[in-house]
């Protein structure tokens, strides 16, 4: 156990040091390439988003496309693990069929889709400055259906582990339907909870920590290492995302990150009680996603807005709550939620 923990921490520390050392040069390159964020003038349903544009116009042209550095670091760490395996220092590389194939495959797949969206956003293409909602939803539906098919028809998983409340509940053919809906929910949630410096990054770090702890206690050490590499890159990112941000996350990374979370949650469901801890750490994301969903529903059905602006953290911003105040409170709440979630994880082993 101690050897596994040492290896995980070694990969994490190496990732953090290399990433934070590369950031200044990377930001300079992004500025040189004019890879800056443009402010979307339209909502997902094509109406003018004048309030949003006014609140965030000062963030225009801040360098984005942070995901390239993450992709580089993940490939470097996988490459190092191959070398260490060949030298006989470790038994398995990070590219492992039993633990990490499904996580890394779904991550790179989702990343490729939203790579196009980020490029179009930077180049200021189309009315919504990027892929429109229909195109994004088509990609989400396609890959969500595939991941549901994979777990149900390939891995033969048809249950949800609700221990210790109801133990294991078999859902049969309802399982792929529910995982399909859950994947769309999870992947969309993080992209909505964004646009405030330090918000999305901090919330995601603690979600990843919760899942990394779950993977570790379920003895999936290679998958744990992959998540800790994600945490290390995010922590390094936070040093340069402090208000005023020098770099933004980018939509493709946000979607790819939560594709990892979705795949990991279904993987953990096979062997550990993860449903309730996951629900706890998703509370802030759920609130933002629900307020955005209600806003869209209200405009479609009643032809006027329920809120002046959605999601919830933008509504607070609209009500003259300072950006750093919103971020600080949400960080504190997420920290508390993470502690509670991790306690519930260890509860099943007491």
The CA-based angle 166-171-174, given to 5 degrees, is: 140
Residue 337: the pLDDT is 96
- Say how many CA atoms lie within 13 Å of 12 toward its Cβ: 20
Residue 58: the pLDDT is 46
If we measure between CA atoms, which residue out of 228, 253, 239 comes closest to residue 69?
253
H or E stretch covering 160: strand 159-161
- Give CA–CA dist 321/170, Å, rounded: 45
| pLDDT of 60 higher than 90 | no
Residue 104: the pLDDT is 85
Beta bridge partners of 159: 170
Tokens of 183: 């994947």
Model pLDDT for residues 81-138, shown as the tens digit of each residue: 999 999 988 888 998 877 888 888 777 776 676 667 666 666 666 555 556 667 777 7
Query: Phi-psi region for residue 332, left (φ > 0), alpha (ψ -120 to 50) or beta?
Result: alpha
| pLDDT of 250 higher than 70 | no
In the chain, what is the straight-line distance between the N-terminal and C-terminal CA atoms, in Å? Answer: 19
- The residues, ordered by sequence, that sit 6+ positions from 139 with a Cβ below 8 Å of its Cβ are 113
- The residues, ordered by sequence, that sit 6+ positions from 115 with a Cβ below 8 Å of its Cβ are 67, 252
- The residues, ordered by sequence, that sit 6+ positions from 47 with a Cβ below 8 Å of its Cβ are 299
Between β-strands 168-170 and 159-161, what pairing exists: parallel, antiparallel or unpaired? antiparallel
- The residues, ordered by sequence, that sit 6+ positions from 71 with a Cβ below 8 Å of its Cβ are 111
Query: Mind giving me the DSSP string for 176-204?
Result: HHHHHHHHHHHHHHHHHS-SSTTHHHHHH
If we measure between CA atoms, which residue out of 62, 64, 57, 51 comes closest to residue 39?
57
If we measure between CA atoms, which residue out of 111, 70, 289, 118 comes closest to residue 194?
289
- Give CA–CA dist 9/29, Å, rounded: 30
Residue 42, classed as helix, strand or coil, is: strand
The CA-based angle 128-188-291, given to 5 degrees, is: 85
Model pLDDT for residues 195-248, shown as the tens digit of each residue: 676 677 888 899 999 999 999 988 899 999 999 999 999 899 888 877 677 777
Rounded to the nearest 5°, which phi and psi values hold at 246?
A: -95, -15
Tokens of 154: 């390939």
Look-up of token digits 């990377």: 26
Average pLDDT for residues 4-28, to the nearest whole number?
92
Q: Can you give the residue ranges of every domain in the chain?
A: 2-347
Residue 227: the pLDDT is 94
- Give CA–CA dist 19/11, Å, rounded: 12
């Amino acid at each position: 156990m101690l050897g596994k923990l040492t290896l995980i921490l070694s990969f994490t520390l190496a990732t953090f040091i290399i990433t934070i050392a590369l950031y200044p040069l990377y930001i300079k390159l992004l500025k040189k390439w004019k890879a800056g964020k443009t402010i979307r003038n339209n909502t997902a349903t094509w109406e003018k988003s004048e309030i949003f544009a006014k609140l965030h116009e000062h963030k225009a042209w801040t360098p984005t496309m942070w995901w390239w550095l993450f992709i580089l670091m993940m490939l470097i760490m996988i490459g190092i693990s191959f070398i260490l395996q060949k030298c006989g220092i470790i038994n398995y590389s990070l590219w492992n069929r039993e633990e990490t194939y499904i996580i890394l495959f779904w991550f790179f797949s989702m990343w490729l889709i939203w790579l196009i969206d980020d490029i179009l956003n930077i180049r200021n293409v189309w009315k919504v400055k990027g892929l429109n909602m229909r195109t994004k939803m088509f990609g989400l539906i396609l890959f969500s259906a595939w991941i549901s098919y994979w777990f149900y028809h390939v891995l033969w998983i048809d249950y949800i582990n609700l221990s210790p409340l109801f133990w294991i509940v078999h859902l049969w053919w309802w399982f792929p339907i529910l995982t399909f809906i859950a994947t769309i929910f999870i992947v969309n949630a993080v992209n909505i909870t964004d646009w405030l410096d330090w918000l999305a990054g901090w919330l995601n770090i603690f979600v990843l920590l919760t899942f990394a702890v779950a993977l570790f206690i379920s003895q999936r050490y290679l998958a744990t290492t992959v998540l800790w590499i994600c945490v290390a890159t995010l922590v390094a990112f936070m040093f340069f995302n402090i208000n005023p941000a020098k770099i933004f996350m980018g939509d493709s990374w946000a979607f790819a990150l939560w594709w990892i979370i979705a795949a990991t949650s279904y993987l953990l469901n096979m062997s550990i009680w993860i449903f309730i801890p996951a629900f706890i750490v998703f509370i802030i994301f759920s609130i933002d996603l629900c307020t955005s969903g209600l806003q869209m529903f209200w405009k479609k059905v009643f032809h006027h807005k329920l809120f002046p602006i959605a999601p919830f953290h933008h509504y607070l911003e609209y009500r003259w709550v300072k950006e750093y105040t919103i971020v600080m409170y949400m960080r504190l709440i997420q920290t508390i939620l993470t502690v509670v979630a991790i306690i519930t994880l260890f509860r099943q082993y007491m």
